[in-house]
A and B are shown apart, each in its own frame.
Chain A
Amino acid sequence: MKTKPHGQRETTNLKQRFLLWSALILIGGGLLLSALSYWNTRRLLMADAMTKSEVILREVEAIRSYVKEELRPKMYELHGKDTFISEAMSTTYISINIMERFAMTMPHYTYRRASLNPHNPRNLADPFEEEMFDWFEEDSTRLFWQGIVKKNGDAFFVSMVPDYFESSCIRCHGSAEKAPKELTDRYGMDGGFRFKAGDLAGINSVAIPVSEPLREAWQGSLVLFGMTLSGSLLLLWLLTLLFQRLVIERLGVMLSLVAQKGKGKGKSGMATIGDELDVLHASLGSLRSYVRSARKGSSLQPNFIGDYVVNTPIAAGAMSWMYNGRAIESDEKVSLKIGFDEVLQNPLYRSCFETELHLFETLTHPCLPLLQERVEDVLVLTEVRGRSLYHLCNKDPLDDTLLLHVFSQLCDLVASIHAAGIVHHDLRPQILMLDEKQQVSLIDMGLAVSDQQQDPIVAAGLGPQGDLLYLAPEQIQGKRGDPRSDIYGLGLLLYLAATGHLPFTQKRRSTQKWMQHKEQIDTPRIYRSGLSPSLEQIIIKALSYDINKRYQWVEDLWEELDTIKRTGGIAGSTNT
């Protein structure tokens, strides 16, 4: 695993990061707890206010109903139809007076009867009540409203119900001329008239002050937050002590060992790339490389396998290393295919490796090194010389003639592999060597599978295997066993050989991002403007995202390349 380059990561040690994150989590938790407490208290308060205000409103409604239906008709009966006594017959007058008496003993409960055109100017609606008139008038089915209203800096929980005129009310609220004389004498003839039955008479409301309880809830949550914070700080202090003892001090001892190892190379910068665990991780990575390089024999005395000396590595495959080697007796140069330790120890990957060894044993092609013998898990093959296609095409395209020569061999090889019922699955430039005679050698078949055997990777339900950069889209989705995936691999190799570049940069991406990149490939002309359109079309077709739009047979791909070869040239110029 690679570490991020120096400078990209903030320099902080593990203890600081632990403290920072713990403090953030504890403070965040305290804030959340306080907020929840406040929210719950407020909810309970509102529910209480809602019940109380509704009770009072319903009580007033009952008083008004009693006046309207019992008292007023009785007064008419006793004193005649022309009589009007406000103290005994006006619903508004009576209800207001009763509630004023009620308010003397319960000053926190305010009852109001508001009207836009009242007899008594005291009952004139304020601006908020005017808005509520509009709200009730908009929809006659609205029969109740509750909410918090701020007045003069104090918050009140207000419940409101609308009151509509009935025909019995029109005597006093219809025409001013026909209204009882007693009424006009008391309130004049300006307000409270010109209504008809069904009009919105007024709004009855009850307001309960909630500022004080809300303030108390807020203070309670602040106290809770303070207590949580104090507790958190105490807990944090204890955790830090524990973390220091159990982790940091022990890690320090391990790091001092790592630092001693690294002294030979000077200050490698590992100490500044992150916290202690990053340093340890980088150190272990370095140690792994060291062990691997030791295994390669590059920095140690040569290893021996049977009668062969293991020299420098050629390349890493999917399941194994390919090394240069030498026969001790004859001094003949050979190549040695040696499985990774982790592969040999894993039954699943070992079966893949065994398949690879079997394929090298059974397949013969000029592009495959010949088998000389098998020494336990090591294949002794004929010498593989030259450089990998990856190194040869790095930034510079292959010469046109060489490109066609290489791909004639490659297509022939892949056709032979496919004809034998095998899908390679992992065609990469790193495992294709080109020697001084321009002979191509394929040195790895670690992910190959034959149609005559069960695919262990599919049977084990593993996801995509291999470098996602070189995998066909369907392989990234986990599908295996389709020869057209190798045609995609050939398309990528052709792209690289023709332009000196790959269509993607090698970055870590999610499989979903890789799929998007594979769907939108840059045309090869971006890197080589003089590329012939016919070759460009071949590359684009081979790299089709849709498997059915690709070449279906590698022979078809080669036939089209051969046509270019015969008609002459890949490019007019080699601009890169």
Chain B
Amino acid sequence: MRLMVFSDVHGNLEALQSVLADAAKRNVHRSIFLGDLVGYGPYPDECIELVRNVKNCRCIAGNHDVAALWETSPYGMSESAKEAILWTMGQLSDENKKYLAGLPDRLDLFNMTFVHANPYNPRGWRYVMDRKYALRSFAATRCRYLFIGHSHRPLIITRKHFFSTDLYAVSGSQEIVVKDKKRRIVNCGSVGQPRDKDPRSCYLIFDIGKQVLEFYRVGYDIEKTTQAICSAGLPLTLGRRLLKGT
């Protein structure tokens, strides 16, 4: 069983298409999308349509998805993010709004938990990038693996023992064997807006049989997306972020 986990598309259709094309070559059986289909990017409706049509794919809700439905206020976000959300609200079809509204906050599948930000307060959208929130997240699920997105940085947090964790920032494409029995929080990075100074899209495939986490970085036409951001009237800083990967 090979499970694709990807997150944070943020309306970046070019990046999403590249990732799906790359994954199609890698014998993926199922996919889980960890939220934030919309926000920042110029193609929110198209991205939702595309993900909905991915075979055997399940999605969960991200903070931008719920903000685009006014379920949470976008005014707590950064200026560019707020502007993009307000723009996105006008772009979404009713059917896609209905689809986003039906997305769950959390999924549990055998020994895996999937959430957008964290499992202890899924709608609090707190980043899990340090020991304190990692331990709190481990306590909130009994599953061995916790897959998250939200921070846009691929990361593996391994629980060494009850009070200690080990953080490993994943760079580039690489395979990580996880055959030991330790519990892990795995951040799959971002498809549409990576922030680890590598502008390529990031996603992972978890080979459950072999117990290997395969992180992949996929390049896409960033210029085209940047131009689309400009054309849509979205803040230009969003395009510059994509080019820098920050």
Contact = CB atoms under 8 A, between A and B. Distances in A.
Interface string B1-19: 1100000000000000000
Contacts of B2: 555
A553 B110 CA distance: 10
B209 A421 contact: no
A555 B1 CA distance: 6
Contact of B30 (A419, A451, A452, A552): A419
Interface in A542-558: 552-553, 555-556
Classify the secondary structure of B's interface with A: loop
B123 interface: no
Interface string B93-114: 0000000000010011010000
Contacts of B212: none
Nearest to B110: A552
Interface in A523-568: 552-553, 555-556
Given A552-B110, A553-B29, A420 B1 contact: no
A421 B107 contact: yes
A263 to B, nearest CB: 59
A555 B58 CA distance: 16
B104 A419 contact: no
A431 to B, nearest CB: 22
A1 to B, nearest CB: 40
A419 B57 contact: yes
A420 B32 CA distance: 10
Interface of B: 1-2, 29-30, 55-58, 104, 107-108, 110, 208-209
A416 interface: yes
Nearest to B27: A559
Given A420-B58, A552-B1, A553-B1, A415 B30 contact: yes
B56 A415 contact: yes
Contacts of B209: 556
B29 A452 contact: no
B110 A555 contact: no
A419 B56 contact: yes
B107 A555 contact: no
B1 A421 contact: no
Contacts of A421: 58, 107
A387 to B, nearest CB: 29
Given A553-B208, A556-B1, A416 B56 contact: yes
Nearest to B2: A555
Q: Which of A416, A419, A420, A421 has the most CB of B within 10 A?
A: A419
A415 B1 CA distance: 11
Contacts of A420: 56, 58
A419 B1 contact: no
B58 A419 contact: yes
Nearest to A552: B110
Given A416-B55, A556-B1, 16 more contacts: A415-B30, A415-B56, A416-B56, A419-B30, A419-B57, A419-B58, A420-B58, A421-B58, A421-B107, A451-B107, A552-B1, A553-B1, A553-B29, A553-B208, A555-B29, A556-B209
Nearest to B209: A556
Q: Which of B29, B110, B209 has the most CB of A within 10 A?
A: B29
Nearest to A557: B1
B15 to A, nearest CB: 23
A555 B56 CA distance: 11
A387 B16 CA distance: 42
18 contacts: A415-B29, A415-B30, A415-B56, A416-B55, A416-B56, A419-B58, A420-B56, A421-B58, A421-B107, A451-B107, A451-B108, A552-B1, A553-B29, A553-B208, A555-B1, A555-B29, A556-B1, A556-B209
Interface string A398-422: 0000000000000000011001110
Contacts of A555: 1-2, 29-30
Interface in A233-258: none
A555 B209 CA distance: 11
Contacts of B58: 419-421
Contacts of B30: 415, 419, 555
Given A419-B56, A419-B58, A452 B104 contact: yes
A552 B30 CA distance: 14
Interface in A428-464: 451-452
Contacts of A552: 1, 110, 208
A329 B23 CA distance: 47
Q: Which of B56, B107, B110, B208 has the most CB of A within 10 A?
A: B56
Nearest 10 pairs between A and B by C-beta? A419-B56, A553-B1, A555-B29, A555-B1, A419-B30, A556-B1, A416-B56, A415-B56, A452-B104, A419-B58
A452 to B, nearest CB: 6
A421 B104 CA distance: 11
Nearest to A553: B1
A410 to B, nearest CB: 15
A419 B56 CA distance: 5
A146 B29 CA distance: 86
A547 to B, nearest CB: 11
A14 to B, nearest CB: 57
A415 to B, nearest CB: 6
Contacts of A452: 104
Interface in A271-316: none
A556 B209 CA distance: 8
Contacts of B208: 552-553
A12 to B, nearest CB: 58
A555 B29 CA distance: 7
Contacts of B57: 419
A168 B56 CA distance: 108
Nearest to B55: A416
A420 B109 CA distance: 11
A421 B110 CA distance: 12
Nearest to B30: A419
Contacts of B110: 552
A416 B208 CA distance: 18
A452 B110 CA distance: 15
A555 B27 CA distance: 11
Contacts of B56: 415-416, 419-420
B6 to A, nearest CB: 15
Contacts of A415: 29-30, 56
Q: Which of B1, B107, B108, B209 has the most CB of A within 10 A?
A: B1
Interface string A448-482: 00011000000000000000000000000000000
B127 to A, nearest CB: 26
A556 B1 CA distance: 6
